[in-house]
Chains A and B, each alone.
Chain A
Amino acid sequence: MQTLTYEFPAERPAARRAHVGVVGSGDLEVLIIPADGAARVRVRTSVDGFDTVWRVVLERFFARHPVAGNYELNDFGATPGVVTLRLRQAIEESGP
């Protein structure tokens, strides 16, 4: 297991907190807690050694969806596609 932290520029504030997903095989849980200034992400992942992949996936996501807040990702081996899908669901839920 590895814990990774990232911060990305994001100016649009999350309207409310959001929670999607489960820490089950090939899936992940995403929590968004509204906070200003940036998207601060903590990833706890069961798969070690994918720091760069996480950075690329998250960077791309927040470039397209600059929603500020504290993000907590608890991952159990989700693919980049599933990660992006869950993040999208989460910001939809956190939207106004």
Chain B
Amino acid sequence: MTSRGRTWTHALADGAVGDAVPSVITADGTVGHDVARLIAVVPDPGSPYPRARNGEVGLREGLALAEAVTEVVAGDAHLPDDRRRPIVAVVDLPSQAYGRVEEMVGIHQALAAAVDAYVSARTAGHPVIALIVGQALSGGLLAHGGQANQILALDDPGVVVHAMHKRAAAKVTLRTVEELDELARRIPPLSYDVADWARLGLCDRLLDVDDADDPTERDVTTVKEALTAAVERARRGPRDLSNRLDSPGARETRVASRRVHEALAAQWRRVRDDDGTAPQ
């Protein structure tokens, strides 16, 4: 079954694309002077989990992501931390899996394991790059891509980043899809348009490609160059997510975030000093 996640992983891979489970594929791909580990969640129509057949992040996907990332971190543990391999999360996923078995077993814990693994990789010095080539929705994005040092996305109408797909979001917020579209024109975080999302300061580069479904040679070169630059920025930048508040987009759009962060830091310092716990 084709999917953008699969297509782009194959396009960027140097050689064979492997899988621990059919829905989570991995490959090595040259990015500048590095060989990055590519990881993607892809559809598996034969999955024993009916709610995770279309590329959703479910129990086995969360587990497989955690294992795939942890394997890279363990494999490079002996290297100096500025030489550790980049990890590229190729993101194309409709959501997390919505199912009863999933909840019973504890899908939140499977996603937590994936988040933990990605954050551990980032703090250990692995440049973690998210490359959004298709949908990046909700809990799926939190588990796969959301913890990246750098986030790249194709500038293509098929690329959608959001907390919930449109029909469900309309239902939950008691609006019609038309009302939601109208609101999104004024309220950038509500928008389903990738260009609006990019303006929130979360996107490090928006990439122009000719064919997001079937990338041309030039598209692959564009993306590889962008990945190379992103790896470089990640290695130079902080290992936490503080760059997301300092990006040019964030300075425009996340004014409230920055104000809250500064106010809290100032008040924290004052209270700490009063409390007598300030460092000597």
Consider the complex of A and B and state whether they touch directly, i.e. have CB atoms less than 8 Å apart: no
A residues contacting B by CB (< 8 A) are none
